[in-house]
């Protein structure tokens, strides 16, 4: 149990460090203007939690992300029942969104592709990689002046609900 607590503490520290670094990037570099970053649940698809980058034009948005997959997620996980094994699984995605209307409430449709990689060491070792054929989905943004909230449903894997914030 202590080992799991240390691993979770390290994961939280890494995620927090990445958030601090990426919070300053869009405002620090000219090439990053117009980009936002976000934290999402099941975004990228099948990730437990992910870090996403999005560029929003009038009606279109381009997004890519990288996320951590908990061993309870099914599609890319390479987990076993042996407690001495260490499992690391990540997912990534690229997608395009079309936003309807204008104003703060913006429904959208999206399509994209996602991939996952899993590796395991310990008493049982192995690796797994997968590239999907694509996914589609629909959702909505609530756009604010300093942050956006989104919720959507995507067809990736067995289908999943995504939600999160962009800054």
Q: What are the sequence ranges of the domains in the chain?
A: 34-166
What is the DSSP secondary structure assignment for residue 124, as one 8-state letter?
S
For 104, the token pair is 């703060």
The 10 Å Cβ neighbour count of residue 49 is 17
Q: Rounded to whole angstroms, what are the CA distances from 47 to 122, 123, 126, 137, 143?
A: 23, 25, 20, 16, 24
Q: Which residues of 154-164 are buried (b: 16+ CB within 10 A; e: fewer)?
A: bebbeebebeb
Q: Rounded mean pLDDT of 16-29?
A: 56
Cβ–Cβ < 8 Å for 162, 154: yes
pLDDT digits (tens, 9 = 90+) for 62-95: 999 999 887 655 555 555 555 566 778 899 999 9
Cβ–Cβ < 8 Å for 111, 76: no
pTM for the model:
0.73
34-166 belongs to which CATH class? mainly beta
């Amino acid at each position: 149990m202590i080992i799991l607590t240390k691993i979770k503490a390290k994961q939280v520290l890494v995620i927090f460090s990445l958030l601090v670094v990426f919070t300053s990037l869009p405002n620090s570099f000219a090439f990053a203007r117009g980009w936002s970053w976000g934290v999402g649940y099941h975004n990228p698809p099948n990730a437990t939690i992910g870090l996403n980058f999005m560029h929003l034009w009038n009606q279109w948005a381009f997004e890519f992300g990288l996320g951590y997959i908990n061993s309870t997620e099914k599609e890319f996980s390479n987990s076993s029942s042996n407690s001495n094994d260490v499992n690391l699984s990540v997912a990534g995605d690229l997608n395009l969104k079309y936003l309807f209307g204008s104003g703060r409430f913006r429904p959208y449709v999206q399509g994209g592709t996602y991939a996952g990689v899993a590796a395991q060491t310990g008493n049982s070792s192995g690796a797994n990689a997968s590239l999907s054929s694509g996914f589609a989905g629909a959702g909505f943004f609530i756009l604010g002046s300093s942050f956006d909230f989104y919720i959507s449903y995507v067809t990736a894997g067995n289908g999943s609900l995504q939600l999160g914030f962009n800054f």
